[in-house]
Chain A
Amino acid sequence: MEIKNRPFAVDTVRQDPDDETFTFWPRHNEALYKRLESKHVHIEQGDPLEAEMTLNIGPQHPATHGVLRVVVKLDGENIRTAVLDIGYLHRGLEKFAEVKTFQEFMPYTDRMDYMSPYNSNVAWCLSVEKLANIEVPQRAQWIRTMMCECARISAHLLWIGTMVMDAGALSVFLWTFKYREELYSIFDEVAGARFTVSHSRIGGVAFDVSPTALDLIQRFCDNFQNDIADWKKLLNRNRIWIDRNKDIGTLSAEECLDLGFTGPNLRACGIDYDIRIFEPYLKYDEVEFDVPMRTEGDSLARYFVRVEEMEQSLRIIRQCLDRLRGPNEVKGPIRADNAKHAYASKDEVYYSMEGMIHDFLMTDVGVAPPDGVEVYHATEAPKGELGFFLASDGTGSPWRMKINSPSFCNLQGLEHLLEGAMVADTVVLIGSIDPVMGEADK
C-alpha cells in the first residue's frame, strides 16, 4: 500500500536529484522508513477507518525530554509500529576519553546525565579507582554516598514534575522545582557549582563539606519529608492521574529482563535489581534502606517506585549526616594519601615544592593504572545501572572506555512499549521511562 503522508521520506526526494527539500543524510531517513515498513508487529485491535498514517515525532518537543525522534505508523489512533532514532546529541564521549587523562574527563560526565551529575562523577571515579587500585578514605565515601542520594532526589523531582506536567497538571512541577532549587543551593555550597558539580575527584572528593552545607541538608530533609507526604496524598488517589497511568505501558517481568530495562523501570516489574544491593559500593552496605518494588509493571507502578525511592534516599541521607558530624563523626582526610593516586591538598601545593611537582604530574599524566587490565564498575544512578568499562594501556588515559548508560537501555525498550499504545499516550510513555538524551547519545 502506498503511504502518502511521509515527511522527509527519501523516495519522494530521490525521484528528482535536483530537488533540494532534504539535503542532509537522505540515506539515513530512507533506512529509517524502510525499517518502519519491515517491522512485523501483530496488533489485535482493528481500526474501523482503516486509515494508515506515518507520523514523525521529534527530534524535538515530545514534551521535551531531549532530542528524541520517534517515527510511528498509526492505525487510527493506535501506534502499529514505532522506530526510535537517537544520536542527535552524540558527542563521541567514548572517543574523547581516549585522548584525555582520567581526571580531565570528569567534567564530561557531568554532561551525560545532566539531571544528576553527581552520580555520573562518582561512577566515573569509582571505575578509575577500581582500575588503578586506589583506596578512598572513609569520610570521602560518606560524603559521596550522601551527595549521590541528594542527586537522586533531584533527578526524581525533575521526573515527577515533568511527568505530571506531561499528564496535564502544572502545579506539581512548581512544587518540585522549589525543592530542586534548594538542592541546587546545597550543591552550590558543597561543590561550588549548582549544576555541573564535578565535586568528586579520583581518590576522594575535592573538598570537605562545610557545616553550613550539612545544616542546609538537614533542613532540606525536615521540610521535604512533609511535602512528599502531601504530594502522595494529592497524586496516589487522584482519579485523573491514575486513569492516565494505570495499565499504560504494561510490561511483564520476563519482557522487562529480555528488553534490558534497568533501574526503577525494572523494579516496577518486580525484579530485584538494584546495584546498591546487587554489588554494594561506597557505604551502601552500611546504611539501612529498602528497595521499593512493584509488580504491576505499568506507568503507575514506575511512579510509585520513584516516589518511594525518594523517601528511601532521605533515610540514607539522614544516616550519612549522622556519620559526617556529631558523636558518630567519621573524621579523616577526604582524598587518598598518595601523590601517585590523587591530587595533593592545596596547602601542600602552595607551600611545598614536592606538592607542586605532584600537582603538575597529576595534571599532566594523572593516574597511571597497570598495562593491559580492564574493569567494569556499576553504580545505581537515578535512571538505572550506570557503569564505565575501562581498558588500560598503562598510560594516563584509557585505551578504551565504554559507557553503559541506563537511558540507552531504557529507550531500547520504549520502542516495544510504544507499539500497540495509543498515540496520546506517547508522551506519558516517554516520560514514564525517564530518558535523558545526554546519556543515551553518549
Chain B
Amino acid sequence: MKKEPLHIASDGTETIDPAQEKQTLKFLFTPAAPPKSEGAPNPHAKASTQVGETIDALRGEFGDAVGEVVEYAGEQTVFVERERIVEVVRFLKAQGFTYLSDLGTIDRFTEDDRFEVFYSLCHIPKRKRIRVKLRVGDGISVPSITGVHRAATWHEREAWDMMGISFDGHPDLRRMFMPEDFEYHPARKEFPTLGIPGSLPLPPQENDGEITLDPFARAHGNIPED
C-alpha cells in the first residue's frame, strides 16, 4: 500500500500521516517494579504532625481525660473527653498552639456516639500541628471553644448548620450557609443527596406563580400526568 503524504513542505520533505505508520506499542506506565508493600512509609507524611511530646504533656496534665492516640500517614490524632475540651484547648494555647486552623465534624452514624468533632491546632514557631478529637452523641452539646479561639465562631456555626451539633456557650449559634428557616442538617448521613421536597422554598418559576417547593420534582418521582 502506498502511503499518502499528509503534508508536503516547501523544501519537498513529506510528513506521513501517523495513522498509516506502523504502530509500536509504548507501554509507558505498565508496572515495572513490584507494588509497594502496605506498610511502606507515606510519601506525603510531614514532620509537623509528629507531636509526641505535646501528647505526653497533655497526658501529664489531664490524665485519663486524654484517650487513645490514632496515627496514620504520620498524623497523630488524640481523643479527649468532651467535657474537658475547653481546658485542653486552653492548655494547648498556653503551650504555643495559638492558631486554630480547622474545626470539623464526622458522622459515624452506625456507632453509639455518632459524631466526632476535630480541632486542628498549629504551633507556628515550632512548626507543629496537632489534631484533637472528641466523640459526641446526637442531641448532646459540646462546650464551645470560642472563648479561647475566636476563630472557632464560624467553624462551630458551620458544624451546627451542617451536622446539627450544638455548642454550649457559643455567642452566636446561627446557621452558617443554610437559611434559618431550614429544618434539617444536610451533612448528616440520613439526609438524602437530592434534598427533601419542600424543605427549601425557592422563587416562583413564572411571574405571579406559586413558590417552588420541590426544585427536583421529576427526580423525586412527581411527574405530571398529561
B95 at the interface (CB under 8 A from A): no
Report the minimum CB–CB distance from B187 to chain A (whole Å). 6
Q: Are A377 and B187 in contact (CB under 8 A)?
A: no
* Known contacts A338-B35, A409-B151, A31 near B180 by CB under 8 Å: yes
Say yes or no: B25 contacts A352, CB within 8 Å: yes
Binding site for B on A (CB under 8 A): 23-28, 30-32, 35, 86-87, 90, 92, 94-96, 98-99, 126, 129-131, 133-136, 257-260, 262, 271-273, 278-281, 333, 335, 337-340, 342, 344-345, 347-348, 351-352, 354-355, 373-378, 385, 387, 389, 391, 399-400, 402, 404, 408-409, 411-412, 441-442
**Count of chain B residues near A, Cβ 8 A:** 67
In the complex, the answer to whether A348 meets B72 with C-beta atoms within 8 Å is no
Instruction: Pick the 6 closest A-B CB pairs, nearest first.
Output: A260-B151, A87-B177, A28-B179, A130-B44, A402-B104, A25-B179
**Contacting residues, chain A, for B124 (C-beta < 8 A):** 257, 271-273, 278
Assembly CA distance A338 to B43 (angstroms): 15
Q: Which of B27, B31, B101 contacts A338 (CB 8 A)?
A: B31
A377 touches B102 (CB 8 A): no
Whole-angstrom CA separation of A347 from B27 in the bound complex: 7
Asked whether A389 lies within 8 Å of B42 as measured between CB atoms, the reply is no
Q: A260-B101, A374-B106, A408-B158 are in contact. List 12 more A-B contacts (CB 8 A).
A: A28-B181, A130-B73, A133-B73, A134-B43, A135-B43, A279-B129, A347-B26, A389-B102, A399-B106, A402-B104, A404-B120, A412-B151
A82 CB to closest chain B CB (Å) equals 13
Q: Is B149 an interface residue (CB 8 A)?
A: yes
Within 8 A of A (CB), among B156-194: 158, 162, 172, 174-181, 186-187, 191, 193
Pair A260/B127 contact, Cβ less than 8 Å: no
- B48 and A279 contacting across the interface, CB-CB below 8 Å: yes
Measured in the bound complex, the distance between the Cα atoms of B182 and A26 in whole Å is 11
Say whether chain B's binding surface is mostly helix, strand, loop, or mixed.
loop
Contact of A348 among B28, B43, B100, B102 (CB under 8 A): B28
A442 to B23, CA, bound (A): 47
A residues less than 8 Å from B42 (CB atoms) = 130, 133
Q: Assuming A26-B181, A348-B27, is B127 touching A279 (CB within 8 A)?
A: yes
24 CB-based A-B contacts, threshold 8 Å: A24-B203, A25-B180, A25-B181, A26-B181, A31-B174, A35-B172, A87-B176, A99-B193, A126-B44, A133-B73, A258-B150, A260-B100, A271-B124, A335-B29, A347-B27, A351-B23, A375-B75, A377-B44, A389-B102, A389-B118, A389-B120, A400-B105, A402-B104, A412-B153
Complex CA gap A92/B194 in Å reads: 11
Contacting residues of chain B (109-166) with chain A, CB-CB under 8 angstroms = 118, 120, 122, 124-125, 127, 129, 131, 149-154, 158, 162
Q: How distant is the Cα of A332 from the Cα of B172 in the complex, in angstroms? A: 54
| Contact between chains at B43 and A352 (CB < 8 Å) | no
User: Does A281 contact B29, Cβ atoms closer than 8 Å?
Assistant: no
Q: How far is the CB of A83 from chain B (nearest CB, A)?
A: 9
Per-residue 0/1 for B211-224: is the Cβ within 8 Å of any A Cβ (1 yes, 0 no)?
Answer: 10000000000000
Interface centre among A279, A348, A389, A441 (most CB of B within 10 A): A279
The residues in B between 44 and 95 inclusive whose CB is less than 8 angstroms from any CB of A are: 44-49, 72-73, 75, 77
